[in-house]
Chains A and B, each alone.
Chain A
Amino acid sequence: MTDTNKKGASARPVFDDDAPASAWTRWRDTEIWHSYSRSPVIVTASVVFVMLVLGALLAPLISPYTPFDPGSLNLMNGFTKPLSANEFTSDFFLLGADDQGRDIFSTILLGLRISLFVGISAVLFAMTLGVVLGLVSGYVGGWLDAVIMRIADIQMTFPSIMIAMLLYGIGKGLTPPDLRDEMAIWVLIFSIGLSEWVQFARTVRGATMVERKKEYVQACDLIGLSRWRIMFKHILPNVTGTVLVIATISLALAIIAEATLSFLGVGAPKTEPSLGTLINVGRQFILSGEWWILLFPSLTLLALALSVNLFGDWLRDALNPKLR
């Protein structure tokens, strides 16, 4: 098989009408854009999400204090109320301060960073694993397919949050004791990611089995492309829509799973707190009346999870041709 042969197969005449429309005007003409711009809920959700992501990315720049630098903390600031200045130090706190005098607004921004980092990395990990296994399972089939799908079945018998907890426990046991705090974030990513791959694998497998029977795949086979090339260069682009939907929904699940694990004390360490850790800290003060330590991190987590969830739901409907 020579190069010229391959090119010849996809050559088609170029008409003048094809060229001019810019990417933006073409994008504005798509059904996705229409469905997006007509739903105020989804526009709000995506604006909230973008703001949260920006807040997390720019956290070191916008946060007014450095809450995890012990040298800059002043215990006198402890329990300052929101929107007020401390009566001793006259430091101002937008969302109040916790028992150690840490600014809640800054801890939320930094916590958001950890939550998003863990959530996104876990989903990327789950996606890579799930897509590869799903493609192989659906395209190659045979005993490989049977083994992968049986493992997926067994894993699906159990709720993913429980699997994540168990994996975290195993991961923690396998890391050397003196590295446990440093490695905690990576163990967390690994365990959440490994608890979410099944959805990707099952869906991609299903889509691959449909694609495999189509003519373009047979054509690829005929011109002698390798299995891997067909799987990753030709089938994969055709299943990305579904993968994208699952990824957004998984992101919401992963963020909540991370918050839950950290809240339970089996996730992000105290030195690098995520939103879940902050909520756990805040919980200790509800009996004594310092509500702001609990409320603001909880609201942030809620806004994050809800906006991703709404976006995922919308994306699923927008990409589903049956609902158009």
Chain B
Amino acid sequence: MLAFIIRRIGQALVVLLAVGFVSFSMFKFMGDPLENLLGQEATMSDRAELAERLGLNDPIVVQYTRYLTRVLDGNLGISYRAGLPVGKIILERLPATLELAFLSGVLAIGVGITFGIYTAIHRDGIITNAIMTISLIGVSLPTFLIGVFLIWAFAVNLDWLPAFGRGPTGNFLGMELAIVTWGGFKSMILPAVTLGLYQMTLIMRLVRSEMQEVLRADFIRFARARGLSERAINFRHALKNTLVPVITVTGLQLGSIIAFAIITETVFQWPGVGLLFINAISFVDIPVMSAYLLLVGTIFVFINLIVDLLYFGIDPRLGPTGGEGRHRA
């Protein structure tokens, strides 16, 4: 057990180091810092001297270590485009992404599990068929199209909800959040649904298939024979046994929500880190790109680590070799 945890944390650290190396290489190999710092009249000896002074001639490992210490100090460089420290920009925008991811995660889990249970119990109803058909569309439609058509339906035609932007924000626990104001919450609904729909359908289908399998198991038949109520069978016996795989897949999907927020934020002009990243790509703003990579990489690695450990905790049968068969977005 302990050995497994230590090894798993070690793997996470290796992945983090690799992610850090990619973002370091982006700084190192894209663009020439000397070109920007030296004037037109600089001679080759000026150049060599500056390179020496900035430590650009040191071995790559030394430079990488220096980069890591700098990042751990919270210094992520200056955005080429905004001229502001990247750390500050990201911290300003992070709450917007986190609240959006939170709401769509809640939506995906809540609605996904509810619909999953419903469709598993009522196998061939009209409602079940309707839900399954809609979920098929939800899986095959690209995220950005869902967003655009939700805007078209609910903002343009019905005029119920705002088409884009974040609306007013209120201060909550020291963060500026839109979810605490009514106007902000209204403008969050469409992006949150767009972002959560894919995960919702995924969770729903998973719950449905797992639950159908469990409902066929012997212990359910015995529970029926003992005369338990349908309610107790479905929720106390079947659902409990369904939740193990659901928890792991859901956990891994939380990471993809953060990544897919890039698309949703652009469609709805939601001022989060995803929109920042897309703009950074358009303008080749390398410090922002590499900082975003570090941030999302860290989030992903942590989520995966926690899910793996949870998995092990919930289902000890899997043992230390568990970890194969990862999700793919």
Contact = CB atoms under 8 A, between A and B. Distances in A.
A263 B149 CA distance: 14
Contacts of B304: 157
Interface stretch (A14-22, A73-81, A159-167): A159-167
A160 B263 contact: no
B328 A287 contact: no
A160 B197 CA distance: 18
Given A156-B328, A158-B300, A173-B30, A283 B282 contact: no
Contacts of B29: 174
Interface stretch (A59-67, A126-134, A226-234, A298-306): A298-306
B277 interface: yes
A153 B263 CA distance: 24
Instruction: Give the one of A283, A291, A305 with max B CB within 10 A.
Output: A283
B278 A305 contact: no
Interface string B147-168: 0110110001000000100000
A266 B263 contact: no
B96 interface: no
Nearest to A257: B142
Given A154-B15, A162-B259, A170-B30, A259 B282 contact: no
B168 to A, nearest CB: 21
Interface string A150-186: 1001101111111001101110111000000000000
Contacts of B113: none
B64 interface: no
A294 B156 CA distance: 13
Q: Is the interface of A mostly helix, strand, loop or mixed?
A: helix
Interface residues of A, number: 40
Contacts of A276: 144
A161 B329 contact: yes
B68 interface: no
Interface in B239-273: 255-256, 259-260, 262-263, 266-267
A264 interface: yes
B152 A256 contact: no
Given A169-B281, A302-B141, A174 B151 contact: no
A292 to B, nearest CB: 12
A173 B163 CA distance: 33
Given A166-B293, A172-B284, A286 B156 contact: yes
Nearest to B265: A264
A119 to B, nearest CB: 13
A199 interface: yes
A158 B284 contact: no
A260 interface: yes
Instruction: Give the one of A150, A166, A265 with max B CB within 10 A.
Output: A166
A153 B325 CA distance: 10
Contact of B144 (A160, A170, A199, A263): A263
Contact of A162 (B26, B141, B262): B262
Contacts of A46: none
Given A154-B15, A291-B152, A305-B140, A169 B284 contact: yes
A309 interface: yes
A166 B255 CA distance: 16
Contacts of A172: 281, 284
Contacts of B83: none
B280 interface: yes
Contacts of A170: 26, 30, 289
B281 to A, nearest CB: 4
Contacts of B51: none
Nearest to A283: B148
A279 interface: yes
A165 B281 contact: yes
Interface string A251-264: 00000100110011
A301 to B, nearest CB: 7
A156 B142 CA distance: 20
B289 A169 contact: yes
A150 B18 CA distance: 11
B278 A259 contact: no
B260 A161 contact: yes
Given A154-B18, A157-B300, A260-B144, A174 B30 contact: yes
B306 interface: no
A165 B262 contact: yes
A273 B15 CA distance: 37
A138 to B, nearest CB: 16
A306 B140 contact: yes
Nearest to B281: A169
A153 B327 CA distance: 11
Interface of B: 14-15, 18-19, 26, 29-31, 140-145, 148-149, 151-152, 156, 163, 255-256, 259-260, 262-263, 266-267, 277-278, 280-282, 284, 286, 289, 293, 296-297, 300-301, 304, 326, 328-329
Interface of A: 150, 153-154, 156-162, 165-166, 168-170, 172-174, 199, 256, 259-260, 263-266, 276, 279, 283, 286-287, 289, 291, 294, 298, 301-302, 305-306, 309
25 contacts: A150-B14, A154-B19, A157-B326, A158-B296, A158-B297, A158-B300, A159-B255, A161-B259, A165-B278, A165-B281, A169-B281, A169-B284, A173-B30, A173-B31, A199-B328, A260-B142, A260-B144, A264-B144, A265-B266, A265-B278, A279-B145, A286-B152, A287-B156, A289-B156, A298-B148
The 8 closest A-B pairs by CB, nearest first: A159-B329, A169-B281, A162-B259, A173-B30, A159-B259, A173-B284, A256-B142, A266-B281
Given A165-B281, A283-B151, 5 more contacts: A162-B262, A172-B281, A174-B29, A266-B282, A276-B144
